[in-house]
């Protein structure tokens, strides 16, 4: 039984050492991964900072728009009143008066030559004057109508010219407005396109940054788990070594889980309590100080299940406390 216990304890020592080596290896890998994740995160943060520092300035797409008021001209200077130059047609009246004078003179000459009465001559002269007056009135009317038509034509021409110039000005202003608006919209389009590309790049980098944070946290967790594995391996190795020593030499320790609990090795035995399963718990001292000095608490090997009991090289009982609900300890 003692040999089997030693072999089992030796296997536990080996398992503990393997656990320690595995923990150390895992911790080393976790440290490298954590360092790599930290470096990658720092690289991404530098890239994000560079993009943000060199981001394009916010623009005013309408900053180049200017007033088009200068394109509108005052056309009032081109306007005139053609009717202002209309005058009275006096030429016909002058002809009329001249003809009347001539007729009167001719009448007088006739009267003098023929010896006719003055009344007949006067009547003849009046008739001639009326005919010429009618001709003169007709000429005057035609001249006035011609002048009025000429003035009206000039006025219509001015209206058409001003209307055409107004149309041209309005067209030029509308075209200039369209060009300015198109320029502003083009600038805004370029700005928004660049912003969209920049934001997309920042979003990608932000996602990568989040992943590096997760990788870093996972690496830190792996380090903690590796440390726990190392500690566990050390504990298992120490426990197994203690068990092996107890099995080989008959001693024991609280940390090992196995202790010499043969009644024949003890003195000053006193019952102090019971375990939850009903096992008696005693305080005692070892007769031989090689098994331990001081007062201990534990069970008696002849009162516990036989599968928890082995023998050391001297034939004394060793109890595996890991199989009991009792703790072997020094008190």
Looking at residue 1, what is its pLDDT?
37
- Tell me, yes or no, whether 232 and 274 share the same domain: no
- Tell me, yes or no, whether 290 and 280 share the same domain: yes
Looking at residue 223, what is its pLDDT?
87
Are residues 68 and 173 in contact, defined by beta-carbon separation less than 8 angstroms? yes
- Tell me, yes or no, whether 82 and 154 share the same domain: yes
Residue pLDDT tens, the chain, 331 long: 345 556 666 777 788 788 889 889 988 988 898 898 889 989 999 988 998 888 888 888 877 777 776 766 766 666 666 655 555 555 555 666 566 666 666 766 666 676 655 565 566 556 656 656 666 677 788 888 888 888 888 889 989 988 999 899 888 888 888 988 888 898 899 999 999 999 999 999 999 989 999 998 999 999 889 888 888 777 667 655 655 555 454 444 433 468 899 999 999 999 999 999 999 999 999 999 888 899 999 999 999 999 999 988 888 999 999 999 999 999 8
- Tell me, yes or no, whether 84 and 50 share the same domain: no
pLDDT tens digits along 162-183 = 899 989 988 888 888 898 888 8
Listed residue (4, 17, 14, 10) closest to 234, CA to CA: 17
Last residue of one domain, picked from the residues 204, 222, 242: 242
Work out how many domains the chain is built from and give that number. 3
DSSP 8-state secondary structure symbol assigned to residue 291? G
- Tell me, yes or no, whether 78 and 182 share the same domain: yes
- Tell me, yes or no, whether 54 and 202 share the same domain: yes
Residue 64 lies in a domain: no
Q: How far apart are CA 297 and CA 81, in angstroms?
A: 135
Last residue of one domain, picked from the residues 211, 242, 273: 242
Residue 63 lies in a domain: no
Residue 157 lies in a domain: yes
- Tell me, yes or no, whether 185 and 78 share the same domain: yes
DSSP 8-state secondary structure symbol assigned to residue 55? P
Domain span at residue 311?
250-330
Encode 42-60: b = buried (16+ Cβ within 10 Å), e = exposed.
eebeeebeeeeeeeeeeee
Q: Residues 6 or more apart from 241 whose CB is under 8 A from it?
A: 9, 13, 256
């Amino acid at each position: 039984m003692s040999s089997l216990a030693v072999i089992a304890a030796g296997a536990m020592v080996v398992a503990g050492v393997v656990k320690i080596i595995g923990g150390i290896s895992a911790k080393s890998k976790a440290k490298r991964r954590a360092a790599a994740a930290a470096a990658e995160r720092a690289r991404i943060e530098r890239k994000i900072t560079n993009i943000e520092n060199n981001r394009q300035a916010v623009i005013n797409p309408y900053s180049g728009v200017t007033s088009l008021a200068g394109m509108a001209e005052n056309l009032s200077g081109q306007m005139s009143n053609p009717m202002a130059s209309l005058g009275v047609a006096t030429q016909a009246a002058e002809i009329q008066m001249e003809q009347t004078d001539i007729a009167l003179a001719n009448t007088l000459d006739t009267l003098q030559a023929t010896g006719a009465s003055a009344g007949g001559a006067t009547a003849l002269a009046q008739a001639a004057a009326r005919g010429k007056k009618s001709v003169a009135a007709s000429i005057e009317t035609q001249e006035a109508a011609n002048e009025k038509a000429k003035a009206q034509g000039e006025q219509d021409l001015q209206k058409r010219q001003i209307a055409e110039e107004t149309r041209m000005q309005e067209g030029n202003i509308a075209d200039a407005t369209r060009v300015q608006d198109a320029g502003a919209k083009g600038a805004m389009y370029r700005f928004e396109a660049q912003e969209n590309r920049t934001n997309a790049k920042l979003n990608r980098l932000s996602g990568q940054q989040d992943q590096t944070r997760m990788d870093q946290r996972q690496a830190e967790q792996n380090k903690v788990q590796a440390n726990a594995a190392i500690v566990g391996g050390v504990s298992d190795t120490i426990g197994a070594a203690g068990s092996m020593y107890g099995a080989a030499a008959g001693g024991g320790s609280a940390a090992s889980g196995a202790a010499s609990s043969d009644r024949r090795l003890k003195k000053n035995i006193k019952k102090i309590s019971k375990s939850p399963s009903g096992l008696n718990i005693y305080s005692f001292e070892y007769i031989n100080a090689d098994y331990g000095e001081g007062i201990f608490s534990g069970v008696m090997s002849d009162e516990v299940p036989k599968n928890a009991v082995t023998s050391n090289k001297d034939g004394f009982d060793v109890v595996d406390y890991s199989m009991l609900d009792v703790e072997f300890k020094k008190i």
